[in-house]
Amino acid sequence: MKIRLLLLSLGFALTVSSSLRAEDPKPAPGAKAEKPETELEKTMSKMNKAWRPVRKAAKEGKLTPADAALVATVRQGAEEASKLTPALEAEKPAAEQAKFQADYQAQLKKLIATLTKLEAALTANDIPAATKLVGDAGAVIKGGHKEFKKPDENEHH
């Protein structure tokens, strides 16, 4: 009787363990769920990759004229983004969409103007002005994300 109980338990354990291994692998903790990226998200991702080292250099007091190239990349990305529409706009009532788009365009123009000044300051080796402008651009970026990015996408900003 004890042997049957042992064999039955062992058989059950093997069945459960093999069915657990047959499941699809679970994503690692903290991994994002896969979803298609919009053109705007791709553009913003490129901008972010160029912006991070500039922001870090400013924070560490290590900005140089060479950082102007990264700022130019961010500025060009902002210009490309101005031709795109945030996904959040489609969720707005039709009556509010035109104002939303106009506000989005105004925010990007403000960012482009700030980045243009930052690029010029870096090129002229005016590091104190450039450091202040990095902060100004960061505030514009943060404000833009708050206003024009879907709330569920704001989790890492």
* Digit-coded pLDDT (tens) for 104-132: 999 999 999 999 999 999 999 999 999 99
Contact (CB, 8 A) for 127 and 86: no
Query: What's the rounded mean pLDDT across residues 42-66?
Result: 95
**What pTM did the predictor assign?**
0.72
Share of the chain above pLDDT 70, in %: 74
* CA–CA dist 82, 107 (Å, integer): 9
Encode 23-48: b = buried (16+ Cβ within 10 Å), e = exposed: eeeeeeeeeeeeeeeeebbebbebbe
Please report the sign of the dihedral spanned by the C-alpha atoms of residue 73, residue 106, residue 157, residue 136.
Answer: positive
Residue pair 119/68 in contact (Cβ under 8 Å)? The answer is: yes
85 vs 3, residue with greater confidence: 85
Angle at 30 between CA 86 and CA 145, to 5 degrees: 25
Cα gap 45→39, rounded to integer Å: 10
Q: What CATH number labels 37-156? A: 1.20.120.10
Residue-level pLDDT at 116? 97
What pLDDT score does 145 carry? 87
